[in-house]
Structure 1
Amino acid sequence: MTRPVRLADVAREAGVSHGTASNVFSRPEIVRDEVRERVFAAASKLGYAGPDPKGRLLRAGKVNAIGVATAEPLSYFFDDPFARTVMSGISQECDATGAGISLVSAANKEQLAWNIQSALVDGFIVFCVEGGSRLVELTRERKLPFVTLDFAEHDDTVATIGVDDVAGAGMAARHLAELGHRRFAVLALPTIETGYGPTTLERAQNAIYSGTRDRIRGYFEVLATHGIDVKAVPIYETENDEASTRAGMEHLFASPEPPTAILAMSDRMAMAALDWLRERGIEVPGEVSVIGFDGVPESAVSTPPLTTIAQPIVEIGRRAVQTILGFDGTIRRETLDVELIVRGSTAPPPSGS
């Protein structure tokens, strides 16, 4: 046959009605054994695998699946500790409600647009890590419910769930300043889409990513109140990965007066910094204190355990699913609380520092 095999072809081959053939695949318990066997034999002969579930779901007006979208490569969902933990919350809530998950990502903008447009889902959870505005634009075009994670742009038509990055960063800076530290350095999230290296305060303050802008603001507003000359605090822009963080640590500790306190904008960077310091015999927190931001599970078992600003990451994922599945037309913008968790990676600076 030159066209796809249809259920009507199977029914004709088996000598049964279309309704009976349909019941064999959808409600087999109500069909006699010998009829079921005849229909299955006909299906096997014709190469028919069964009804296309997309058709049934679309006719019902709901597919019971949520798209989780990012402009990052698909590996982001598995490699990044924050993304993995959010996905844990998303999957827990989906398991509880019987909903499925479709991961939507792309290495280029054209492919991303196609993936968003073709995803068979009831709505989207959008990771606004990179290309947030473009993602919002694409998901809005689908005219399905969507919620963004940490989309800080002021747009009351966009539902979002996030945290107060300014307040959280302020907690981190205050903790270290009150311990007595005076020599700080910042391992920053990206300011632009690509590249890493030493950067300026002005560039960080004008980053295209809200997380970078808000966390630098939170750090430096608090440090300034403690008499720190923030213009003299070195900022190293990373790609939030191990390689660029290690390059940042090499740069920062090549200084004649290296920092005694590292403000890392993510736990992923902070844990890479801990590894770098340990490999060089630099004691943490004896010589250098390190504080992260996120509160991923791995931070509790790093060496030493990482002091961090903890977001309710799992709860963010759960609420995002609830927003999609329970969408009633109301656009909600939620800001959840963060918490300072003090562990073994921070202490007063060495005497004389």
Structure 2
Amino acid sequence: MIKLSDVAKAAGVSQGTASNVFNRPQIVRPEVREKVEAVARELGYSGPDPKGRLLRAGKVNAIGVATAEPLSYFFDDPFARVLMSGISEALDVHGAGISLVSSANDEKLAWNIQSAIVDGFILLCIEGGNRLVELTRDRKLPFVALELDTDDETIAQIGIDDFDGARRIAEHVVDLGHREIAVLSLQLVDDRTGRVTPDQIDTAIYSATRDRLRGYFASLKAAGIDTDAVPVYETENDRKSVNAALEALFDGSATHPTALIAMSDRAALFAIEWLRGRGVAVPEDVSVVGFDGVPEGAFSDPPLTTVTQPIAAMGRLAVQMILEGPSMARRQMLDVELTIRASTAPPRVLGA
């Protein structure tokens, strides 16, 4: 491998002069510059490694966005796409770049975080949040965790009040008059789908899922609904597991839910599609609500009632917290809004 020192030696100049030819050519005499460039071409030297130059400078002008999900998550999930748009917008303002760091394999995730050439990390703690924090702390770079289940005040965090958002949308459902309600949940633990028991809900390892269920149940209990009898189906937030839950809920029996509370807009949109494909009208036969406020929800048929998170604002704030460092508060909690659209209505009167 040809190095700069080899070029300098062959051209009969100092290594400093050779370096200036590639990095500050304006200060080198034209005849010297031309000689060094000719020798470099002859030896096959294309110039200094930009990675090494950036590392020596101590700043690479890029932020890593890390998740324990597969790389496809950044492109497939509506929440992730909106979040990335906010992150990208903020980075554009600062003229900085972005590096996507992910792997469903823990060993590869560790390597990807250790080897990422970035100035800091935004951690999407959808799952494996504590592991992401552990790996990132080893890099000794600034980082911000989104939706991390911890009271550790030393960790910079951005989150929302999942309990209150869930409570408000469930309250909307019961205020419409619904009493036969089912929940399409995000995962409570890894590698499990299907109907869950009250005991399994109490031992959920993912805080957002647990807090949203508690919020739903707070409103249902206030309406006199026995929450132990409310069907809760754990899904992987994908079409396959959501459809499996719906097939169990609408199995041809005489009774079925008049309202579906989905823990994500993605699951809610899958549900609307599944119901319509089987001749079940939304909201006339079944009301459907989501959680997130992704753009697709506003344009679905019918438009989706949901809890709207400031997703893009979370991304912009995360970039700001990394770039401004200690001047920002270490814990930022953002407000959510109840967005009522056409996917919810009072339950159909029996016989109407």
Report the TM-score when normalising by structure 2. Answer: 0.95
Equivalent residue, structure 1, for 2:336: 338
Contact 1:157-1:331 within 8 A present in 2 as well? no
- Name structure 1 gaps, 5 residues minimum: none
Q: Secondary structure at the match of 2:325?
A: coil
Q: Secondary structure at the match of 2:326?
A: coil
Aligned residues: 350
Residue 31 of structure 1, CA deviation: 4.4
Greater CA drift, 340-349 or 8-17? 8-17
- Looking at structure 2, the residues matched to 162 and 101 of structure 1 have their Cα atoms a distance apart, in angstroms, of 22
Q: Secondary structure at the match of 2:342?
A: coil
The answer to whether the aligner puts 1:118 opposite 2:107 as a matched pair is no
The answer to whether the aligner puts 1:278 opposite 2:283 as a matched pair is no
Equivalent residue, structure 1, for 2:49: 52
- Looking at structure 1, the residues matched to 230 and 221 of structure 2 have their Cα atoms a distance apart, in angstroms, of 11
Query: Which residue, out of 330, 343, 349, partners 1:351?
Result: 349
Q: What letter matches 1:282 in structure 2?
A: V
The answer to whether the aligner puts 1:27 opposite 2:38 as a matched pair is no
Query: Which residue, out of 101, 121, 141, partners 2:138?
Result: 141
The answer to whether the aligner puts 1:207 opposite 2:211 as a matched pair is no
Describe the shift of the 1:289–1:34 C-alpha distance in structure 2 as closer, same or farther (beyond 3 A). farther
The answer to whether the aligner puts 1:183 opposite 2:180 as a matched pair is yes
Equivalent residue, structure 1, for 2:314: 316
Greater CA drift, 280-289 or 40-49? 40-49
Contact 2:83-2:311 within 8 A present in 1 as well? yes
Give aligned-pair identity as a percent: 63
Contact 1:205-1:216 within 8 A present in 2 as well? no
Q: What letter matches 1:195 in structure 2?
A: R
Report the TM-score when normalising by structure 1. Answer: 0.94
Q: What letter matches 2:340 in structure 1?
A: V
Q: Deviations over 1:268-299 (max 9, x none)?
A: 10010011011111111111110000001111
- Looking at structure 2, the residues matched to 119 and 61 of structure 1 have their Cα atoms a distance apart, in angstroms, of 14
- Looking at structure 2, the residues matched to 322 and 71 of structure 1 have their Cα atoms a distance apart, in angstroms, of 23
Describe the shift of the 1:339–1:40 C-alpha distance in structure 2 as closer, same or farther (beyond 3 A). same
Q: What letter matches 1:87 in structure 2?
A: M
Greater CA drift, 59-68 or 178-187? 59-68
Equivalent residue, structure 2, for 1:304: 302
Residue 300 of structure 1, CA deviation: 1.0
Greater CA drift, 88-97 or 26-35? 26-35
Q: Secondary structure at the match of 2:87?
A: helix
Residue 171 of structure 1, CA deviation: 1.1
Residue 24 of structure 1, CA deviation: 2.8
The answer to whether the aligner puts 1:223 opposite 2:220 as a matched pair is yes
Contact 2:321-2:328 within 8 A present in 1 as well? no
- Looking at structure 1, the residues matched to 24 and 138 of structure 2 have their Cα atoms a distance apart, in angstroms, of 37
